Amino acid sequence: MKKKRPSLKDIADALNISTTTVSFVLNGKGEEKKISKELIAKVEAHLKEINYKPNLVARSLRTGSTRVLVFMVEDISNSHFSKVGRIIEDISYKNDYRVLFCSTENDVKRTQDLIHLFHERQVDGFIIVPPPGIEKEISYLLENEVPVVLFDRKIPDLEADYVIINNFEGAKQSTQHLIDSGYKNIAFITIDLDQIQMHDREAGYIAALEESGFSPNILKIPYDTSNIPSSREKIKKFIEKNKDIDAIFFATNYLSQSGLKCIHQIDAKLINKLGIISFDDSNFFEMYSPTVSAFAQPVDEMANQLMKIMLSKLKNKEQGVPSKVVLDGTLVTRESSLKK
Amino acid sequence: MKKKRPSLKDIADALNISTTTVSFVLNGKGEEKKISKELIAKVEAHLKEINYKPNLVARSLRTGSTRVLVFMVEDISNSHFSKVGRIIEDISYKNDYRVLFCSTENDVKRTQDLIHLFHERQVDGFIIVPPPGIEKEISYLLENEVPVVLFDRKIPDLEADYVIINNFEGAKQSTQHLIDSGYKNIAFITIDLDQIQMHDREAGYIAALEESGFSPNILKIPYDTSNIPSSREKIKKFIEKNKDIDAIFFATNYLSQSGLKCIHQIDAKLINKLGIISFDDSNFFEMYSPTVSAFAQPVDEMANQLMKIMLSKLKNKEQGVPSKVVLDGTLVTRESSLKK
DNA sequence: CTGAAAGCGCTAACAT
DNA sequence: ATGTTAGCGCTTTCAG
């Protein structure tokens, strides 16, 4: 049963009217264009009957807009990002945009490919968690007046809109919380990545310790191995070597998960002696035993701000001064950071 | 700096040649079309210089192909699906296709929207984990000769290609493993969903028990609440009520994760007394304490078969008899299913 | 109130 | 060896 997809023209021919009329009805402009009630009804009935689906590729070529946005994050399966994504999707939908999700894995090459892929396919806007080294592609988009909003981290020296949180304050508060709980020897396990949000978290950690007269103890793991055995080895060795540590502050939620596993491997009882807190929350933390404290980012607000900026850029092609939004997070205290 | 995106025509004009020539060079058909080396070099140099990006929307409209595939699964963040997705992406890339990922959440409405969204945008093929009730949309795609391959589950009475695993055998083997480990009172916790793969898993469980003369003990959780507190309550009550249970077989990896949390809440020591096995593996199971046994699906092979079928459908528009592939999984035994 | 027709950027059959 | 040109399916201006 060979069914050539029906086109607007086919419909017009079948009804003996012009494609213009069909197009107007299709786009709900019937009233506006003063097409008679009867004709509108007739066309709509026919559209329904043959279950007509317009060819949006043709429409996009004509209108110059795909009504598609792209949401590119480090890892869409990370609950922090997927929660933001979900809200973005809702807001977009209400504004007649669809959103495509993808993971950069913090890999420049992959991110470049994705940006080109979507830009060539004419998506209308990008919301991006930029991996290190992606400045050039972002600038390229900006020069071509493609709406771009960064989040989670900014790119220094780039005049782009962004929504981030105050990483320094968050890290400082988290560290302070451990200090307040009575921990005295707090280690910081982070990713060895030259990104501003990581630097800020480290600085916040150090600042809190210094105020209380404690000294920092930092382990940096290479990013590319953060999910595989070798990084776990590093964490394991670090913990075994530093017997005096009584608490650990992990710089990201996935580091915490790796770390928790290491701690368990070293000694099943160890987890109950150590104070633990994680930057970024995770569903997993509520399931773990003990439940894990975290510094949570304001997911709803981030998504709302992101879309507010994006929609305004989509509306006014002329872009004024970039919006630079810095939000505050919230400390979520659970069992892992109580004094043992 | 208003930069109108350059078109093929702009380039042709700039170089004083025709768009045909530029198009041929752009598509690497220069040699084939016997365009002189010098001209090819000149055009390529210019393309590079202005960093030309073709408008793929226009190309797609013209060629009728977007070279985009869609991979729709229940939840792309579930490691079972994301692993398959990763391989699919690799194979697609090598064949010059890009793939878009999305989650159906097993929701018909959402899946319908996604199918329409992508079909209207003319994607070239769909790889789908079909939620219950999606038959009509799948048939629609089939009738319109859009390549579709189902996986993880088939739709009874629908003549579609699919790649699934032998759920009955897998469940039977898993149950048998618990029996072999000495457990005598094995419960089965599953999702109350009228889907064939769930029925098969249940049947496999029952078959194994019957062969050994044990009797089944099944809890069915409504799907829509599987991730939220109420389902955990159900699991909790079930476990508390059935004190004699010495092992539990969870029908999916996310059920296992919920279940593990419940078990922990009831009694932190309980997990060490109960035998646990999960259908579908998860990264989480290696991290948990104890590590969790699982019946793992053959991820690589599934992805390869899926793409083999998809690529052949993409090549030969005429579709013959649907390919129906049923694979075997592997039992991965870890700490949780050893005799305690 | 409705229709004719131009054109979005690209490809490829057909000319030359 | 390179150019001319007709569309792909749709929107929208302008005419009637």
A264 and A210 share one domain: yes
User: What mean pLDDT comes out for the span B31-57?
Assistant: 88
User: Rounded to whole angstroms, what are the CA distances from A254 to A232, A249, A258, A285?
Assistant: 12, 12, 6, 11
Q: How far is A123 from chain B (nearest CA, A)?
A: 10
Q: Is A17's pLDDT higher than 80?
A: yes
User: What mean pLDDT comes out for the span A104-108?
Assistant: 92
What would the two tokens of residue A68 be? 């598609």
**Which carries the bigger pLDDT value, residue A166 or residue A27?**
A166
Chain A interface test: which of B57, B123, B291 (most A C-beta within 10 Å): B57
Q: Is A227's pLDDT higher than 80?
A: no
B176 and B229 share one domain: yes
Least reliable range by pLDDT among A124-138, A214-228, A244-258, B152-166: A214-228
The predicted structure's pLDDT at residue A142: 93
**Residue–nucleotide distance: B28 CA to C16 C1' (Å):** 23
Q: Does A339 touch chain B (CB under 8 A)?
A: no
B117 and B205 share one domain: no
Chain A interface test: which of B121, B137, B226, B228 (most A C-beta within 10 Å): B121
A-facing residues of B in 283-312 (CB < 8 A) are 284, 286-287, 289
The predicted structure's pLDDT at residue B211: 95
Contacts across the A-B interface (CB distance below 8 Å): 83
Compute the distance between CA of residue A246 and CA of residue A250 in angstroms, rounded to an integer: 13
Compute the distance between CA of residue A143 and CA of residue A294 in angstroms, rounded to an integer: 39
The predicted structure's pLDDT at residue B257: 87
pTM here is 0.88
pLDDT tens for each residue of A230-254 = 778 888 899 989 999 999 999 999 8
A176 and A284 share one domain: yes
Query: Nearest Cβ partner of A120 from B56, B120, B144?
Result: B56
Residue B114 sits in a domain of what CATH number? 3.40.50.2300
Is B261 close to A287, i.e. CB distance below 8 A? yes
Would you tell me which residues have their CB within 7 A of strand C?
A 16-21, 33-36, 39, 58, 61-62, 64; B 5, 7-9, 18-20, 23-24, 26-27, 54-55, 58-59, 61-63
Q: Is B26's pLDDT higher than 80?
A: yes
What would the two tokens of residue A316 be? 């006014």
Q: Is B228's pLDDT higher than 70?
A: no
A40 and A73 share one domain: no
Q: Is A228's pLDDT higher than 70?
A: no
Residue B176 lies in a domain: yes
Nearest nucleic acid nucleotide to A23, CA to C1' distance: D11
Residue A19 lies in a domain: yes
User: What mean pLDDT comes out for the span A14-43?
Assistant: 87
Least reliable range by pLDDT among A106-110, A196-200, B134-138, B222-226: B222-226
Q: How far is B141 from chain A (nearest CA, A)?
A: 11
B204 and B234 share one domain: yes
Burial class (CB in 10 A: 0-12, 13-18, 19+), A241: exposed
- Provide the pLDDT confidence category of residue A225 given band limits of 50, 70 and 90: low
Q: pLDDT above 70 covers what percent of chain B?
A: 96
- Mean per-residue pLDDT over chain B, rounded: 91
Q: Is B1's pLDDT higher than 70?
A: no
pLDDT tens for each residue of A271-323 = 889 999 999 998 888 878 789 999 999 999 999 999 999 999 999 866 678 89
Q: Does A145 touch chain B (CB under 8 A)?
A: yes
The predicted structure's pLDDT at residue A309: 96
Residue A286 lies in a domain: yes
User: Rounded to whole angstroms, what are the CA distances from A200 to A156, A167, A174, A183?
Assistant: 13, 6, 13, 22
**What are residue B326's DSSP bridge partners?**
B164
The predicted structure's pLDDT at residue B232: 80
Q: Is B320's pLDDT higher than 80?
A: no
Residue A204 lies in a domain: yes
Residue B211 lies in a domain: yes
- Provide the pLDDT confidence category of residue B241 given band limits of 50, 70 and 90: very high
User: Rounded to whole angstroms, what are the CA distances from B23 to A88, A113, B206?
Assistant: 38, 22, 63
Compute the distance between CA of residue A264 and CA of residue B27 in angstroms, rounded to an integer: 55
Strands lying side by side in the sheet with B148-151: B98-103, B68-73, B125-128, B148-151, B161-165, B324-327
User: What mean pLDDT comes out for the span B220-224?
Assistant: 84
Q: Is A33's pLDDT higher than 80?
A: no
Is B122 close to A257, i.e. CB distance below 8 A? no
B287 and B171 share one domain: yes
Q: Does A1 touch chain B (CB under 8 A)?
A: yes
CB-to-strand D under 7 Å, chain B 5-34: 16-21, 33-34
Residues of B within 8 A of A83 (CB-CB) are: none
- Provide the pLDDT confidence category of residue B319 given band limits of 50, 70 and 90: low
The predicted structure's pLDDT at residue B318: 64
Q: Is A2's pLDDT higher than 50?
A: no
Q: Is B54's pLDDT higher than 90?
A: yes
DSSP state of A316: -
Q: Count of domains in chain B?
A: 3
- The helix/strand/coil state of A49 is helix
Q: Does A116 touch chain B (CB under 8 A)?
A: yes
Q: How far is B94 from chain A (nearest CA, A)?
A: 14
Compute the distance between CA of residue B269 and CA of residue B44 in angstroms, rounded to an integer: 69
- Mean per-residue pLDDT over chain A, rounded: 91
The predicted structure's pLDDT at residue A226: 55
The predicted structure's pLDDT at residue A117: 94
**Residue–nucleotide distance: B7 CA to C12 C1' (Å):** 18
Compute the distance between CA of residue A331 and CA of residue A329 in angstroms, rounded to an integer: 7
Residue A145 lies in a domain: yes
Q: Which of B12-21, B29-38, B306-315 has the highest mean pLDDT?
A: B306-315
Domain boundaries, position B314: 65-165+300-328
B132 and B157 share one domain: yes
A194 and A152 share one domain: no
Strands lying side by side in the sheet with A98-103: A98-103, A68-73, A125-128, A148-151, A161-165, A324-327
Q: Is A32's pLDDT higher than 90?
A: no
Residue A37 lies in a domain: yes
Q: Does A94 touch chain B (CB under 8 A)?
A: no
B144 and B246 share one domain: no
Residue A2 lies in a domain: no
User: What mean pLDDT comes out for the span B174-191?
Assistant: 96
B145 and B184 share one domain: no
Nearest nucleic acid nucleotide to A6, CA to C1' distance: D9
pLDDT tens for each residue of A160-169 = 999 999 999 9
Q: Is B32's pLDDT higher than 90?
A: no
- Provide the pLDDT confidence category of residue B206 given band limits of 50, 70 and 90: very high
